[in-house]
Structure 1
Amino acid sequence: MSQDIVIPFSSFETIFPLHVVFNDSLVVVSVSEEMQSLCAAINVGIPFKNCFRILQPYLEDFTYEQICAMPDEKYIIQTSNHLKFKANVIVQEKTVVFLCQLFIDDVEDYSALPKMEFGGDLLLCTKALDKKIENFKALEQSLRQKEEVIVEKERALVAEKEQARINKEKLSQNNKEIGFEIQKALLLGRLPKRENLTIEVLNIPSQEVSGDFYDFFNHDTKCMDLVIGDVMGKGIAAALVAAALKGVLLRCAGKANLPTRGFISPQKIMLRLMEEITPELIELETFATMCYNRFNLFTHKLISVDFGHTNILHYKFLSEQVQRIVGKNLPLGVQTQPNLEIAEEHFDDNDIFLFYSDGVIEVQNEKGEMFGEQKLMNILKQNSTKTPGEIIAKVRESLIEYSYQDFKDDVTCIVVKIEEVFSQTRIYNVLMITSCLDELKRVRNYITKTASKIRYFQNEENLNNLLLAANEVVANIIRHGYKNDPDNVIRIEISVSHSWIRICFVDKGIPFSMADEKNMNDIDEITDADLQQMSGGFGLYIIHSLVDKVTYHRDSKGNNYLSLIKNFQSETLRTASSDLDIT
């Protein structure tokens, strides 16, 4: 006859450190200290269902009777704080005892789990740990292989990016070279050689192509136009817009040097340019600043039409001061302006004009401070006795010294110095008339207005002789050159120096027949037969008797140039400095 084994409570606690006991009402009546330390919510008197869930076999709403009916079941229970245990059940005297062990995640076959066999549990834990180590090693190997693949791909990507960078730099360099060629060939004009103007240009390209441009237009020995401009933005696009703008400007300015039409004013040139180019710039959503300037060495005036460009700096030799010439018109491409404001500035010998782009005054130092216009004015004043080349060199040196990095924008600076002009021509006027005898009165009034400013011609006889000679020339051109055809044009230019006055008549009529065979200045050698063969021969004889010199030539374009030159008397020369109105 079998006899029940009695285990003291202290021994029970040692053998089964994790246990919980509940009665037939499913209320906890006993719980081990170890179990309670793992889940503080387990206390005596608490319903078992409030502390545990039975996961295996799955019993969602279990009863005391259900558990008693399955005493040999391998249970898995979970506490309210989500700890899992495997458990065996002992049913005794309306109580159920759960003998628990911590649940091992990697256990796959719970049917092989022995009841409370601690050696088997330890072996099972060891096997589970070995399996985890094996899995970790496999994972480590897999990660190492993937890492090698990633490293290889990174190397390939770095090499690809480096090649892309090299290709981009080559393309950028090619674009810069193309842009610089565009600037050099299309945007930067050739430095002109002038008798009475000394000109020097500074142009430092930035690291990026931009839309700076400048050029010079020679109309004759006493008149030159200078233009400087800048298109908004940088790069090839800005350079191409600048090239197109300059092309239109060349076409408009080219019409200003027609012998029989007179010089078109800078204002009219700019009006033509504005009307033609503004719609195109608006469509391209860009704009340009520009300053068009005419140096007239006869009137000693600078005429300037500005479109939002930087100021012109004018060093006045007599006052030893630098002043700004400020434009008031809007940039090209903003809107069409019906009227353009012009600036007129009188100049004297040794005066200096400085034109510059915004890249000059926007050069920055390490503090981000701009070079500014005042420093440019100081350089001009402090170096006023030097040549334009030396002034340009000083500007360059100052900009490089001031800047802490490469220039971000093109630097363009033009210096123009007025040389000995007043010792030569002092007055220059132009009149255009039609080939009609009714215009003779206009011619006489025009010559009188200019000549009367000279003391020599304030003598009525001297003035009348000059008027009679001019009257004969115009009458001969109309009658013999144009055969009384009123639909032609005669251009008349007057230039005056301290010792002579010259009146030049330009027409496209029939050439004088004797012009190439006789020296018209040798009036004593012209015979009656010569006069009969010459068109208007007697009139030419009168002309020669009234002036000191007559010159004639015909150019390749069919323009006749006949000039009358009258020298002043020696006593007049002694007071010539006060004879001329140079305003």
Structure 2
Amino acid sequence: MPLPLFPHNRQILLAGALIFLFPAALAACILPFRDPVVCVSAIAALLATAGLILFLLHSAIYDLFPLNHPAFISFAEKEETIILLLDRRAGRICYAGPKAADYFSPSVKTGAAVGLLLDGFSPDDRESLLAELTRVRQGQMSRINEVRLVRPDSIEAWLSIRIDGIRSGGNLKRIVFVCRDVTARREAQLRLVKAREYEVEVGARIQQSLLLGQPDLSYPGLQIGAFSLPSQRIDGDFIDFFSCHNREITDFILGDVMGKGVPAALLGAAARTELMRSRLSNPYNDSLAPLDTIIARAETNLSAQLQRLNSFVTLIYGRVDRPRRLFEFIDCGHTSIIHYDAETRHCWRLKGSSMPLGFTDSQDFRRYIINLNAGDIIFTYSDGITEAVNGEGELFGEERLMHLVRSSAGLSTEELLEKIKRITFAYSAGNFRDDVTGIAIKIEQRKDELETKKETAVFPRKLEALREIRSFSREQVRHSVEGSEESGTDLCDTLELAVGEAASNILRHQQGENGRELTITVRSSLEWIAVTLEYHGNAYDWYKVPDPNVTRYQQSGYGLYLMQSSMDSVTLAEGEDDLLRLVMLKKLPGPGEDL
């Protein structure tokens, strides 16, 4: 039962103060102070009345969160339950429960700064808790975090922490930490993990031999690392690396076979071998075979077998062209690729539109291309990472992984992969549902960098800005293109059409974001030109939009078709905080080539 604002005995006291003490004090003050006793009595009555009223008001405020209620005290003293109450700005601790002293330093008490509470956690856990505090203050749903700390008695403990907001009339009043000691459960889980270590080690050795190629450490201008942790003794994840043109161009594959155990491993080995054979059977002589040609040839030989076995293979085939600073990929139903952009310090989810191998007899594979900068990171992974589950049944998820990559961008690829392994392993207590595989590629600065030009402009999110946007794109393309006047004019017209269609779609279909801006960047080299549009908006699956029927008239639906017809690649990526990025890239013709 909720407490009344003023308990019954306090109402009586307040009524008595108002009815008896205050009129008496006021009457005494009006009388002439001829008698010292009367004077002293009047002053004492006034002070007593004011003090009593202040005490009762303080008690009333205190009762807005009934910390003295027997039910609350019983709850706060429960074993393994720690209650901490913060002010609405998360700056001070308003209340520290009885159990807080067992887990936090003696300085964590009522009235102390919240920073003293967070100092007891590791930097990674502290960052996660600060992010949860921000979410709660913004009115979002809180998530359970399991974090580790060292108690005052030097014993390591695991806490499950939930952060919630106490609101009144829609306004945040207090923030409450509810912590439970889950050390016993985590230790039991870790003991089970250790019991599996031998099997996992044997499985890893087998998988390393059959399915997992290792990158060479001597790729010029690139850092490349890879790891894999099988969920069983052996599973179906496979990776491979190829390089050519004096190691300037690097292809990599990350695939995942449906299923587990030996059958999945055998199919993975077959798929890896078929892709290698397809790549080596190159009719293009000294030039590299296009990615879609490589995968289509492999699919022709694999599909019948996969369909007969009721299985399929998801796949990422990527190509890093270091001299040209381009990343090209085909996504066959795999998890997203995470691209960390060192210039903007944003993480993006790159996603393709092709189906897994084995779904159909044949399909048209669509390639996607983005430009890269020094410091960029490409991270490709299996769903075992994002689908890792903690003790509360919550997935690790892509958002946590993107945040982890962005916050660790200064590390080497080996350090980044080790950190991802350590954090996901601790998150799930080593109990992975699926294989955990990852490839990290970092672009290093080189002295012989390809020279590029870059121009950026910011436009209001209004349809009236379309003319200015088209003019900006045409002007930047004109400055970027070398060659004949005719080819330059054709390219300007092509880019202006693509940028105009893209900007028009953004401005027309994101009506709820009129208060924000549209940022357009044009970057070019002697071999390509890329136009990037960044904006806040609702995620939209462009790849599911069907091509228009050009045999009959229709009023709309031509935008994406025109962009894809005009450009060599159109890639829409989702970022953090509802940020979206559209990259349109066009390769420029060499001397004597047609546009």
TM-score, normalisation: structure 1:
0.43
TM-score, normalisation: structure 2:
0.42
Greater Cα radius of gyration, structure 1 or 2: 1
